[in-house]
Structure 1
Amino acid sequence: MSGSTITPWVVGNWKMNPMQSDSQQLIQSLKQYLQAGPIDVAQCRIAVAPTAIALLSVQQQLQDAAVEVLTVAQDLSRVAGTGAYTGEVSAELLKDSAIHYVLIGHSERRELFGDDVSQITAKVTHALNAGLQIIYCVGESLEQREQGLAEQVVLQQICDLSSVVKAEQWQNIKIAYEPIWAIGTGKTASPEDAQAMHEKIRAGLKQLTGYGQDIAILYGGSVKADNAEALAACPDINGALVGGASLQAESFYKIAQAFAQTKH
């Protein structure tokens, strides 16, 4: 059973890019593409995740776009509310600034910055309690895949959620599967491999929640305009979390267009 009735999501993760002037030009160019060829929100939801320092300016610049483009935070604090926590941005501060979506558990946070299960589940808890929508990232390393552990690792990351997500909160979660070995390397899991993992994730979600059939599962890892259509054709791939290609308006637009056209 596929998730083919799910509206796809295409989310651009800008990571620690770009400079302010380039950010403004990128958004302006994206708006021009969407003005010339609007993508119906019923066919594909589009979102961008800029750096924390650019969240509000990007959100403001997108307000007059021909198509709604959502703004997503790349991360949030494991501490809730407000207080003496230098350098942190909490779920409540994001919500107060009308930022309603957040990435949690990206492999770069896990691998480079030490986000462990306890930190990630704290972030999930605070985000959900504040009413945010989560794009929760999962994925295996090349070593784990070569050892035959890919499914076990990914499904465990999904199961990590079950201890903190309340039954009704699952509808506020999307999953992004990103094989770590394909992020920024130019390597992409074949559509067949990606679909096989997405199918396993779908089955796992259905065991955890009654919303399992309706949760969007995005693919990430060197998604480009020239492979987006093949990925979009897979029944359990409900969108893309796009890295480098989201820093070019044309390629990002074409990826969204591919999912909008292929899924409908």
Structure 2
Amino acid sequence: MEKTSPKKWVIGNWKLNPYFQDAQALFQSITQHIEGQSLDCQVAIAPPTAYLAFFSAQNLPLPIVAQDISIVNGTGAYTGEISADLLKHANVNYTLIGHSERRELFGDHVERLQQKIKNAIGSGLHIIYCVGESLEQREAGHAKDIVIQQLQELKAVLSEDDWQNVIIAYEPIWAIGTGKTALPQDAQDMHATIRSYLQDHTTWANRISLLYGGSVKPENAVELAACTDIDGALVGGASLDASSFISIIQAFAQK
């Protein structure tokens, strides 16, 4: 396989924000900035589920990302569920899986996550798979062990070819929504650990994009973008402000 560099990504995870009119205005501000520009960085948005079909129908070169998918797939009597297959047919081709908020608040244990991974791959979706440790785990010296275990759980349900449809997002749980950010060297160190694991387990290792998430903001984006193994960012709160999000995009586009 020929050598190539991973694609750079900046993905805005809007979580359960904002209200629809504000979401439309925010989306327009972001798209107006990136349209017509030759950015060396792929920008994507993960809006609330209620807005997915609306934004995907805009037919812009800006991927729309689901924040989660169901453990069931296809169609059927599953009130309230959103399947990978339905997303694919709605022109939504990417999904987050394993975000710490899904793991901690909504009971996404290993078996649920692995079923979601299989559903996503089976329906032809690309996965942004989230890994990360808690503050307690980091302070106990187990951060790398936790992340490697999460990667093992991913690997267990992927074929070799499936890896080409995977992006890894490292999000230290203690830095999500807290304003705290891993020092650039600490973030780079974990990303290097992830890259090393991938190199040991798949021939796609050097093509898989590794994103950092955890209170990414304009003030730290340039330093994070300068790290060798950080290929982009999964941005939470700062993606809800167009100027802040655009500044982060520019930091990674200029890497």
- TM-score interval (norm. to shorter): over 0.9
Separation in 2 of the partners of 1:39 and 1:218? 21
| Structure 1 equivalent of residue 54 of structure 2 | 57
Question: Deviation digits for residues 210-254 of structure 1, max 9, x if unmatched?
Answer: 111211000000000111110000000000000000001111111
Give the letter aligned to residue 222 of structure 1.
S
Structure 2 vs 1, CA of residues 121 and 6 (structure 1 numbering), >3 Å: closer, same or farther? same
| Structure 1 equivalent of residue 45 of structure 2 | 48
Give the letter aligned to residue 254 of structure 1.
S
What secondary structure, in the 3-state scheme, does the structure 2 residue paired with 1:102 have?
Answer: strand
Separation in 1 of the partners of 2:225 and 2:48? 27
What is the 5 A alignment of 1:160-179? 160-179=153-172
What secondary structure, in the 3-state scheme, does the structure 1 residue paired with 2:63 have?
Answer: strand
Question: Deviation digits for residues 139-190 of structure 1, max 9, x if unmatched?
Answer: 0000000000000000100010121101110000000000000000000000
- Give the superposed CA RMSD: 1.3
| Structure 1 equivalent of residue 108 of structure 2 | 115
1:7 has 2:7 as partner: yes
Structure 1 unmatched runs, 5+? none
| Structure 2 equivalent of residue 133 of structure 1 | 126
Shift >4 Å, 4+ stretches: none
Structure 2 unmatched runs, 5+? none
CA contact (8 A) 1:4 1:238 kept: no
| Structure 2 equivalent of residue 234 of structure 1 | 227
Identity %: 56
Give the letter aligned to residue 50 of structure 1.
P
The alpha carbon displacement at 1:29 in A equals 1.2
Separation in 1 of the partners of 2:48 and 2:237? 14
User: Which residue of the other structure, out of 133, 148, 168, is the alignment partner of 1:155?
Assistant: 148
Structure 2 vs 1, CA of residues 4 and 225 (structure 1 numbering), >3 Å: closer, same or farther? farther
Separation in 2 of the partners of 1:47 and 1:216? 14
| Structure 1 equivalent of residue 237 of structure 2 | 244
Q: Please say which of residues 136-145 and 161-170 is displaced more in the overlay.
A: 161-170
What secondary structure, in the 3-state scheme, does the structure 2 residue paired with 1:240 have?
Answer: strand
User: Which residue of the other structure, out of 155, 174, 185, is the alignment partner of 1:181?
Assistant: 174
Question: Deviation digits for residues 200-219 of structure 1, max 9, x if unmatched?
Answer: 00011111111112110000
CA contact (8 A) 1:135 1:174 kept: yes
What is the 5 A alignment of 1:40-119? 40=39, 43-61=40-58, 63=59, 68-119=61-112
| Structure 1 equivalent of residue 37 of structure 2 | 38
CA contact (8 A) 2:30 2:242 kept: yes
The alpha carbon displacement at 1:119 in A equals 0.2
The alpha carbon displacement at 1:39 in A equals 4.2
Give the letter aligned to residue 56 of structure 1.
A
Give the letter aligned to residue 186 of structure 2.
D
CA contact (8 A) 2:5 2:206 kept: no
CA contact (8 A) 1:33 1:250 kept: no
Separation in 1 of the partners of 2:4 and 2:99? 25
Aligned residue pairs, count: 253
What secondary structure, in the 3-state scheme, does the structure 1 residue paired with 2:254 have?
Answer: helix
